[in-house]
Amino acid sequence: MPTDAESRQPTLFATGYGKVSVTPDVAVLRFYVYRTHPTNHMVAYRAAVDAAQQVIAALREEGLADDALRTVDIETSTRHHTDRQGRRRLIEHEVRYVLEARVRDFELAGKLLGRALAVGASEATLWAFEISDVRELELQALEQAVRHARERAEVAARAPGVRLGPPVQMNLHLGRRGGRYSYRDSYSVYAAEPADAPSAPITPGQHDISAEVEVTFALEPNR
């Protein structure tokens, strides 16, 4: 009777990589409104809401569709200072109102950044680039990765004089890299710029859709 070692089929493990580069077609913008008041949080809240409404109206006047804009966050907070004796002193109440827009027209996106600042936004940020439909691109990257893994395994199998058999196990990993911008919170309230604020040029560059596969192939004797 054969032992476990003799009956176990030999295998070969290989990793393959694939990547498809594409230009993003969506710019994600975020608009921040900060308003503060030294004693009354409702005064700060009303000021933030009024300013946010002005920003929303201005963005729509520039041609932004209603379904392209959403509210991301409305946050109220109170800032205190504690002295060495442990006594707390109120510094201010703050309200943060955050809007997010998804825009396919990059020229329009640049105009929206300047216009939002002109009507009272505290910050206007290019938050991220996105690809509207990545399904076909992911399949292309996976196909490349599987082909790459098989090519590497075939080369490795030649040395011991065996033949590469069918895959017996496979793990897939998809990743998306590049094209994302971070943002910085700020507690200062900026003065509105002139209404003819310049349009910001936006260049999306390239975004990588990557795939990695881990494949275990059976090894068969040459015939």
Model pLDDT for residues 77-123, shown as the tens digit of each residue: 888 788 788 788 878 889 999 999 999 999 999 999 999 999 999 99
pLDDT recorded at residue 191: 39
Amino acid 1: pLDDT = 45
**pLDDT band, residue 186 (cuts 50/70/90):** very low
* 128 SS3 class: strand
Of residues 182 and 21, the one with the higher pLDDT is 21
User: From CA 89, how far away is CA 193, in angstroms rounded?
Assistant: 33
pTM beyond 0.85: no
Q: What is the reported pLDDT for 92? A: 86
User: Do the Cβ atoms of 161 and 167 come closer than 8 Å?
Assistant: no
Superfamily of domain 1-24+132-183+198-223 in the CATH hierarchy: Protein of unknown function (DUF541), domain 1 (3.30.110.170)
pLDDT on residue 184? 32
Answer for the pair 186, 123: CB distance below 8 angstroms, yes or no: yes
Per-residue model confidence (pLDDT) at position 176: 60
Residue predicted with more confidence, 189 or 153: 153
Do strands 11-22 and 207-221 pair parallel, antiparallel, or not at all (unpaired)?
antiparallel
For residue 7, pLDDT beyond 60: no
Read off the pLDDT of residues 44-68 as tens digits, 9 standing for 90 and up.
Answer: 999 999 999 999 999 999 999 999 9
CA distance 184 to 82: 26
Tell me the average pLDDT across 180-185: 33
- Span 167-180, mean pLDDT? 73
Report residue 178's pLDDT band, with 50, 70 and 90 as the boundaries.
very low
Termini Cα distance of the chain: 25
CA distances from 206 to 21, 23, 133, 183, 209 (A): 6, 5, 15, 20, 10
DSSP state of 137: H
Distance from CA of residue 188 to its chain's centroid?
Answer: 26
Q: Assign 3-state DSSP to the chain and report helix, strand, coil percentages, each to 5.
A: 30, 40, 30
pLDDT at 195: 52
Residues 92, 36 contacting (CB under 8 angstroms): yes
CA 210 to chain centre: 15
Return the CATH class of domain 26-80+87-130. Answer: alpha beta
CA–CA dist 51, 97 (Å, integer): 9
Tell me the domain boundaries of the chain: 1-24+132-183+198-223, 26-80+87-130
DSSP 8-class letter at 122 = S
CA–CA dist 74, 55 (Å, integer)? 15
> In this structure, how many other beta carbons lie within 10 angstroms of the beta carbon of residue 36?
20
Helices then strands, counting H and E runs in the chain, come out as 4, 7
Question: In which element (H, E) is residue 213 found?
Answer: strand 207-221
Mean pLDDT of the chain: 84
